[in-house]
Amino acid sequence: MSLTLRIGCCGWGYLKPLNLPVKKFFPKQSLLQSYATIFDTVEINYTFYRIPQTKTVQKWRQEVDAINPDFEFTVKAFQIITHKLRFKDASTKYFDILIELCKILKSKVILFQSPSTFTPKEENLLALENFFKNINRENFTLVWESRGNWNIELIKELCKSYNLIHCVDPFRNEPIILKKQKTIYFRLHGIGEKMYVYKFNRTELIDLKTKLSRIPKESKTAYIFFNNTNCYEDAYLFKQMI
């Protein structure tokens, strides 16, 4: 597979020695360093709930650099942007703060997850337009996970207009992949009615591998983040299958 896969989890805070079938855990390392010994990427959910101090972010980068300088953080945008201000008013100011943190982390990708109550009404569409057309995105890849009832064609139009990557759980929705798009971003929550409380079996992971093999050859990197209760074990097993 020529596609570069970055496989990890949405956070490292719940990693435990018994999560993974490794011969030895890493007691002399921090929890993040133990995670970085096993995986090469993580999606930071901490930034969704609160704005971390600069020294905290610097510490994260220093810790992973000691293990793997190529380790990659992707960053989930502050909820104050997506859920409280809903892309309006001072959202761009908070985006500027987020950018500075991402530079410290050497991140390339920022995820915006809009709430299910953020529906495609005129007010919200205008907010999206004003936000994405007025931010200084520099060279960052911006990913959008729309929740709620959004028309596929409208999502496609918005992603094309604002140069966004469409984030989906591939077991729940088909991703919109634009022509010449270089990045794919999947967040896996589980199959069936119960989201998050889930353990993927080997057959389902083989199915995921098949889905990835169908991604257009123009794409260069696919981020695969497990966001379920069994995320560490599932991500570890999937890495072994690739």
pTM of the model: 0.95
The parent domain of residue 119 ranges over: 4-241
Please check the confidence at residue 239 and state whether its pLDDT lies above 60. Answer: yes
> Which pLDDT does position 139 carry in this prediction?
95
| pLDDT at residue 18 greater than cutoff 70 | no
Per-residue pLDDT at 55 exceeds 90? yes
Element (H, E) at 232: helix 231-241
32-45 tens-digit pLDDT: 998 999 999 999 99
What is the distance between the alpha carbons of residues 183 and 94, in angstroms, rounded to a whole number?
Answer: 24
pLDDT at 108: 97
Are 134 and 118 in contact by the 8 Å Cβ rule? The answer is: no
Check residue 208 and give its pLDDT: 97
Contact 236, 205 (CB under 8 A): no
pLDDT in tens, 64-114: 999 999 999 999 999 999 999 999 999 999 999 999 999 999 999 999 999
Share of the chain above pLDDT 70, in %: 95
Task: Give the pLDDT score at 229.
Answer: 93
Q: Is the confidence at residue 1, as pLDDT, over 70?
A: no
The CATH number for 63's domain is 3.20.20.410
| Total count of domains within the chain | 1
User: 195-204 pLDDT, tens per residue?
Assistant: 899 999 999 9
Q: pLDDT tens, 209-219?
A: 999 999 988 88
Residue 181 near residue 223 (C-beta atoms within 8 A): no
Write out the DSSP string of 164-193: EEEEE-TTTS-----TT--EEEEEE--SSS
3 CB neighbour count, 10 Å cutoff? 14
- For the chain, what is the mean pLDDT? 93
Straight-line distance from the first to the last Cα atom of the chain, in angstroms, rounded to the nearest whole number: 9
d(CA 114, CA 111): 10
